[in-house]
Amino acid sequence: MNIQDAKFLMSNSRVEECPAPTLPEYAFIGRSNVGKSSLINMLTNHKGLAKTSSQPGKTQLINHFIINNTWYLVDLPGYGYAKVSKDSRVKWQRMINFYLRKRENLACVFVLVDSRHSPQAVDLEFMEQLGSEGIPFVMIFTKADKQSGTRTQQNVVDYIQKMEETWDEVPRHFVTSAEEKTGRDEVLDFIQEINR
């Protein structure tokens, strides 16, 4: 898929105020600092579209972008940032839960995990929740340029094996690097496939 046009639309805290659900929507989420903004900018080919986080855990809104006037890209606030207060965490949970359950045009959630790390409980729990609610999702392993390809593959295999302990079917996954612009075609082709 070629990206001809990518525009920021709006930020909301309530699913009711999101744009009319007339186009398929793809949401990106992960732990703070996982590389979500960098990935969104790489996918859309727009350097400053999503704000890279100078203050992790700060953006607590649902951010809508419209791509090629045919689909919505949503940048969701990250989780797992230690310094966030309990109050903010509860607010985050409520907002995200509502969004994930009520957003009728949500075609797929991209759950980002850092390809350098072994499986993390916070990510596994989040995906467990998505799976149990029947919300479609796939995984993206980010920052693949940070280590050797062999090391990345080992971490991916460890993750998949961990998930196979509790899942009949493991989610589809992609490996990306915003730095080296790899994995872009695979992710965009996947979106195009669903949009068809």
**Residues contributing to the site for ligand GDP (CB under 6 A):** 32-38, 52-53, 56, 78, 142-143, 145-146, 177-179
Q: How far is the CB of 58 from ligand GDP (least distance, A)?
A: 9
Which lies closer to ligand GDP via its Cβ, residue 128 or residue 145?
Answer: 145
Which lies closer to ligand GDP via its Cβ, residue 18 or residue 113?
Answer: 113
Which lies closer to ligand GDP via its Cβ, residue 37 or residue 152?
Answer: 37
Q: How far is the CB of 39 from ligand GDP (least distance, A)?
A: 6
The CA-based angle 169-174-175, given to 5 degrees, is 135
Distance of alpha carbon 15 from alpha carbon 19, whole angstroms: 9
Q: How far is the CB of 55 from ligand GDP (least distance, A)?
A: 9
Assess contact for 113 and 141: CB atoms under 8 A: yes
Q: How far is CA 54 from CA 25, 44, 50, 182, 185, in A?
A: 26, 20, 12, 24, 28
Which lies closer to ligand GDP via its Cβ, residue 1 or residue 78?
Answer: 78
Q: Is 110 left (phi over 0), alpha (psi -120 to 50) or beta?
A: beta
Q: How far is the CB of 169 from ligand GDP (least distance, A)?
A: 27
